[in-house]
Amino acid sequence: MTEKEKMIAGKVYNSQDSELVAALNKSKSLCRQYNNLDFSNVAARKVIIDELLQEEHNDGYCVFTPPFWCDYGFNVKVGKNFYSNHNLVILDCAEVTFGDNVFVGPNCGFYTAIHPIDAHQRNTGIELAKPIKVGRDGGFGGGVTVLPGVTIGNNVVIGAGSVVIKDIPSGVVAVGNPCKPIRKITEADKLDLDDPNI
């Protein structure tokens, strides 16, 4: 197996492999170009995101508000109606998947990379990565961090500043460090749109 194949398969890999370094450099260059575009230049932003993520996004709203950074891009999969606010960072050494209708607040990070605790091993450049999966209809408050191997269900709201280290089931509000479900989402959570105070 190549080091890239090992990385994608969830095996220990050498992050300093020349193929991976080249892919990383290309991704960072595309991110820089994207972040330097005028925000009103929607067509140019779409071209870069499609190249970065290696898929076309023609079937629904897809916005990465600059600045946006990722490691490789090819491991990021977004559904329809995806929106992220400023300063999203995705370390996509393993796949990071978002379902339809996901909204991500500012300063959020989704990190699949795992570095060895042992200093000698860490200094050699070996790594491991575990995928992150986010279901449909999700919302993330500002400053949320999602760690390797986490699966978040459908219709979940993660409160601002949370650090998600374990799976979160569907249909809940979850907050904290470590992030834990605090209650189910119910009909009572709908805003009264006729209320003059909102």
User: What phi and psi, each to the nearest 5 degrees, are found at residue 67?
Assistant: -80, 145
Among 57, 86, 115, 120, the active-site one is: 115
State CA 106 to chain mean position distance: 12
The reply to whether 115 belongs to the active site is: yes
User: What phi and psi, each to the nearest 5 degrees, are found at residue 7?
Assistant: -60, -50
State CA 14 to chain mean position distance: 22
Instruction: Name the residue among 75, 73, 81 with its Cα closest to residue 136.
Output: 81
Q: Where are the alpha helices (DSSP H) in the chain?
A: 3-8, 18-36, 42-53, 119-123
Question: How far apart (Å, rounded) are the C-alpha atoms in residues 53 and 78?
Answer: 9
Cα of first residue to Cα of last residue in the chain, in angstroms, is 57
Active site residues: 115
